[in-house]
């Protein structure tokens, strides 16, 4: 069983930076595509970024491209999401996900973390 635990969410001012982390246990995370989704109050869960190890690629939502970077730390079995130039519209619960293929669709992911709250004040 794969377990994902997110950390790093907090309140930050617009223009600031945060780094979210997702610790993976149960299996080496390089076996999966690892990604991040987010959900703002009253809205759908949206794709943010994905790191596909087997494909050697990353993908980002247009809304975060150029501001967010997804990366992996093999030694610590951890995936990070570096978020810069944060905007109030980035406020959401951020979920770490793992699946068999890198995708922008939430149904493609088998494993989900509990989420970490990111709040960006204006």
pLDDT grade, residue 71 (50/70/90)?
very high
Beta-bridged to residue 18, according to DSSP, are: 83
Q: Report the alpha-carbon distance of residue 28 to residue 59 in Å, rounded.
A: 21
19, two tokens: 């780094």
Average pLDDT, integer, range 5-12: 97
The percentage of the chain sitting over the pLDDT mark of 70, rounded to a whole number, equals: 99
4, two tokens: 């994902």
Looking at the predicted structure, is the pLDDT value of residue 31 above 90? no
């Amino acid at each position: 069983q794969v377990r994902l635990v997110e950390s790093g969410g907090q309140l930050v001012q617009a223009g600031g930076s945060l780094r979210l982390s997702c610790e993976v246990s149960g299996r080496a995370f390089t076996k999966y595509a690892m990604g991040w989704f987010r959900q703002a109050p009253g809205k759908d869960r949206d794709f943010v970024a994905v790191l596909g190890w087997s494909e050697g690629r990353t993908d980002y939502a247009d809304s975060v491209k150029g501001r967010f970077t997804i990366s992996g730390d093999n030694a610590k079995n951890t995936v990070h999401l570096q978020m810069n130039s944060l905007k109030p519209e980035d406020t959401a619960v951020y979920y770490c996900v793992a699946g068999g293929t890198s995708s922008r669709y939430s149904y493609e992911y088998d494993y989900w973390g509990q989420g970490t709250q990111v709040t960006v004040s204006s």
